[in-house]
Amino acid sequence: MEIAIEKTPQMGLALALVCFAALLVLLPDEKAMKISEITSKSIGQTGKVYGTIRGLEFRNDNAFFTLENGGAIRAVFFSPSAEQAAQLRENANAEVLAQVTNYKGGLELIVERVREID
């Protein structure tokens, strides 16, 4: 099939728009979630949670801690990179991007990214 080269910009624009729509659907909505408002209805949701890191433990290359801020929730960060692990400090205030999950009947955050904040 032959295509006129001068149609390249229009074809490019069409491809870009389709992909943009796909990205809107795919990309996680990084909305902020308050710990006190995380309930069983939040399971499956991904968002930013702000809190203080308590009870930090590293076991088998995974990090386990509780995030406190007007409530408390357990969090696990599977195999954080060295750079991400350096962001995890006991009593540090952190912004955590995580998905709410159910683990053994309780709510838990599966951490995707963490950033220490002032």
Partner 1 sequence: MFTGFMPGIHANTIAFMALLLPIDKSTGLAMFIVSMGISHSFFDSLPSILLGAPSEESSVNLLPGHEMLLKGKGLEAVELMAFGGLAAAAFGIALAPLFFSFAKNYSAHFPAVIPALVAGTIALMIIGEKNKASAALVSLAAGLLGIFLLNSGVREPVFVLITGFFGIPGLLQSLSANAKIPEQEMWVHAKAGTGIGFVAAVTSGFLAAFPGIGPSQAATIVKTFYRKITKQEYLILSGGINTGNLFFSIIMLHALGKTRTGMAAALEGAMKMDYMALITLYITAAMSAGICAALIGAVAQYAIVWIKKIDYRKISAVTMIFMAILVLYFSGIAGILACTAAAGVSLFALGSNVRRSHCMAFLLFPTLSFYLGLG
Site residues for partner 1 per CB under 8 A? 1-6, 8-20, 22-23, 26-27, 81, 83-84, 97, 113, 115
In angstroms, give the least distance from the CB of 77 to partner 1: 11
Pairing relation of β-strands 106-116 and 72-77? parallel
Give one DSSP letter per residue of 35-86, joined into a string.
GGG--GGGTT-EEEEEEEEEEEEEETTEEEEEEESSSEEEEEESS--HHHHT
In angstroms, give the least distance from the CB of 100 to partner 1: 17
Question: For residues 26 and 41, which CB has a smaller minimum distance to partner 1 in the complex?
Answer: 26
In angstroms, give the least distance from the CB of 90 to partner 1: 21
Please, are residues 77 and 89 in contact by the beta-carbon 8 Å criterion? no
Question: For residues 6 and 57, which CB has a smaller minimum distance to partner 1 in the complex?
Answer: 6
Neighbours of 58 (CB within 10 A): 13
Question: For residues 11 and 43, which CB has a smaller minimum distance to partner 1 in the complex?
Answer: 11
In angstroms, give the least distance from the CB of 105 to partner 1: 27
